[in-house]
Chain A
Amino acid sequence: MTALLDPTAPLTATGNLRRREAISRLVRGCTTAATLIAVAVLVLVVYGVFSRGVSALSLGFLTEDLPEPGHAGGGIGPALLGTAMLALAATLIAMPLGVLIALYASEFAGARVANAIRLVLDLMYGLPTIIIGLFVFGLMVNHHHQSGIAGAVGLSIVMLPLIARSTQEVLALVPHTLREASEALGMSRWRTVGGVVLPAASGGIVTGTILAGARAAGETAPLLLATTVFANGYTLDFFGKAVPNIPIMIFTLSEEASPIGFTRAWGAAFVLLVFILLANIGARALLARSRAKMAR
């Protein structure tokens, strides 16, 4: 075998290799640029909302009743309370169900059934939110009337797959040795689940619920046919009346296209965005902490 390579040649890039490395560098530059674009878009949107929304903000803006359409002044108080009620009610519906579904899929069901449940949850997650709105309209509003609870049911369908899937992922992280230790002590299934598995997974479950709640608080389409025709004042009649809420308010104001309305919409968008970003950052911090705890 005669040497095709000259072993004494210097180890520097020549010809073809230089071209390949140039391409490689170019691609690395492109990926960096793409990432910068995404970050820039987020900064642009957040800056756009913050810079316009801050000026609308005051204590009165956060507490006062909604003004008559087209009038200046007033606040978003009832809508803030309404969005809080809607998100809370949706969480109360979706969290127990989501956790139970995840428990069933990971603790009780066989692989086949667990797969089927995962498919249903994924399909539910993929449902267009406006379809959820149509569903709620057909089920609870048509032939009856708009109500806060109809909106909350819609939001809970948005939350359910998120909570169930994130809970399932945390349950899979709970070490098997913990379960076996509990079994070995002669604990029954429900004591094992309630006393060992769920407490170990609680951090992740709470994180998933916060993220899902933040997502639901900003959803508009499930509410669009369920709780839109509301009065301007505070209402606690969650089951009988449409409840004012921030997303529908922003959507209506943006369709009306009046400058006064835009100012109020920016203020409301600012409040909503701050809440959602804080919830996201908080949930991430919590997740990092509980992960570290579980790894120990």
Chain B
Amino acid sequence: MAIDVTSARRLATRMNAPSRGARRVDRVGDGLLYGACVLAALLSVAVMVEVVYQVVSGASLAFSHFGLGFVGHTTWNEVFNRFGAGVFLYGTAVTSAMALLLAVPLGIAIALYLSMIAPAPVRAIVGPIVEMLAAIPSVVLGFWGLIVLAPFVRDHLEPALHSALGFIPLFGAAQTTGLGLFTAGLILSIMVLPIVAALSRDLFLTVPQELQDGAAALGATRWEVMRGVVLQSTRPGVAAACCLGLGRALGEAIAVAQVVGAGLEIHGSLFPTGSTLAAQIATKFPSAITKLDISSLFYLGTVLLAIGLITNLIAQWIGRRFSLQSGLLAGRA
């Protein structure tokens, strides 16, 4: 394996030195390929910088108008030109938290099933099916949520939750439409589930079989192997997967806009309508007219971008540290 490519190349060049013309073609070809590759790589960096610049500069008018108080302010009124992100921050936090609470345990359970319990043929069929959930376009999922899920939530889920857990203020009286933060959280959990499940499954499959066999030989049951070896050694990776899922939930605009009901108030209960940062942009942007209105939506975008980038950076940071660790682990095993 350990062939020194550079010296081999030098040797090869010396041994069969091509004619001068062919050499020039090669030099030009090499230069062009390298140049094109560097340009493309630089372009990708430039696009990221430009995205941040466009969103932040679009928000500059609203920023000079409202300052940082915008972030906590809880009214959104086009008539009186009073805008704030408070309601949408709350909506984003609640729906994302709900999506994670539902999707993370389910996703990890699915990943455990697919990596450790399912027989090979089942794994080969069910694995892609779970991943297929992620392929459903958000606008189709949101439309399904609006027409099929929302009435079900209104007629069955909300009354049941209210009568069983009504003493907790989160589960207030059922609403008349079924549209609201609760339904949005359900839709988001459907979108997050395949991400957590697929990433965790891939992680679990990297746990060395010797470690699992060792634990089993010491008398551990299947569950104890999962808990003590598999989950234990992949914990940071699973956390990174959850962060990626969270990023998806925070940023989803379309499906949430379709089922969240575009409410502009904060309620103690989960069931009434609300809105999220992304959904508010998607709902209001097409009809925004005044410059301040548009700029305020860009301000919402800036807040969303900041939260999204931080979430992703955390995921990357944990993920990288983990890949280092798993490399060490593999070296030891």
- Where the two chains meet, the residues of A that have a C-beta atom closer than 8 Å to any C-beta of B are 20-21, 23-24, 27-28, 30-35, 37-39, 41-42, 44-46, 48-49, 52, 96-97, 100-101, 103-105, 107-109, 117, 119-124, 126-135, 137-139, 142, 157, 160, 164, 176, 179-180, 183-186, 188-191, 193-194, 214-215, 217-221, 224-225, 228, 247, 250-251, 254-255, 262, 265-266, 269, 272-273, 276-277, 280, 284
Contacts and interface: CB of A to CB of B under 8 A. Distances in A.
Contacts of B315: 126
Nearest to B278: A130
A245 B106 CA distance: 35
B37 A100 contact: yes
A52 B132 CA distance: 20
Interface in B78-129: 105-106, 109-110, 112-114, 117-118, 126, 128-129
Contacts of B106: 34, 37-38
Given A97-B44, A220-B254, A280-B135, A186 B18 contact: yes
Contacts of A265: 143
Given A28-B223, A130-B282, A101 B44 contact: yes
Given A24-B221, A134-B297, 7 more contacts: A20-B224, A100-B37, A105-B41, A131-B308, A224-B282, A255-B258, A273-B136
Contact of B139 (A127, A220, A225): A220
A218 B139 contact: yes
Contact of A186 (B13, B37, B54): B13
A107 B38 CA distance: 11
> Among the interface residues B44, B117, B283, B313, which one has the most CB atoms of the partner chain A within 10 A?
B44
A266 B147 CA distance: 10
B321 interface: no
B76 interface: no
Nearest to A53: B140
Contacts of A224: 253-254, 282, 285-286
A134 B113 contact: no
Interface string B1-13: 1010100110011
21 contacts: A27-B223, A37-B106, A42-B129, A120-B44, A121-B44, A123-B313, A127-B251, A130-B281, A138-B54, A183-B5, A186-B13, A186-B16, A189-B30, A190-B33, A251-B139, A251-B257, A254-B146, A254-B258, A272-B140, A273-B140, A280-B132
A128 to B, nearest CB: 3
Contacts of B41: 100-101, 104-105, 109, 117
A76 B29 CA distance: 47
Nearest 6 pairs between A and B by C-beta? A128-B251, A218-B137, A104-B37, A188-B26, A100-B40, A34-B109
Given A128-B250, A130-B304, A135-B50, A269 B130 contact: no
A134 B251 CA distance: 13
Most B CB within 10 A of own CB, among A44, A130, A269, A284 = A130
Given A38-B193, A104-B41, A117-B41, A45 B58 contact: no
B133 interface: yes
Given A35-B113, A48-B148, A277-B135, A122 B316 contact: yes
A225 B285 contact: yes
Contacts of B135: 214-215, 218, 276-277, 280
A193 B250 CA distance: 40
A201 to B, nearest CB: 15
Interface string B158-189: 00000000000000000000000000000000
Contact of B51 (A101, A135, A186): A135
B140 to A, nearest CB: 5
Contact of B221 (A23, A188, A276, A284): A23
B68 interface: no
Interface residues of B, number: 98
Interface in B14-29: 15-16, 18, 26-27, 29
Nearest to B152: A44
B274 interface: no
Contacts of B51: 127, 131-132, 135, 157
A134 B50 contact: no
B62 interface: no
A184 B48 contact: no
Nearest to B281: A130
B237 interface: no
B138 interface: yes
A45 B136 contact: yes
A23 B223 contact: yes
Contacts of A120: 44-45, 48
B212 interface: no
Contacts of B143: 250, 254, 265-266, 269
Contact of A184 (B8, B50, B126, B197): B8
A135 B44 contact: no
A139 B30 contact: no
B211 interface: no
A284 B127 CA distance: 12
Contact of B12 (A37, A184, A220, A277): A184
B47 interface: yes
A176 B18 CA distance: 24
Given A128-B252, A128-B278, A130-B282, A218 B138 contact: yes
A32 B252 contact: no
Contacts of A185: 12
B113 A31 contact: yes
A284 B124 CA distance: 11
B44 A221 contact: no
Nearest to B131: A280
A115 B316 CA distance: 11
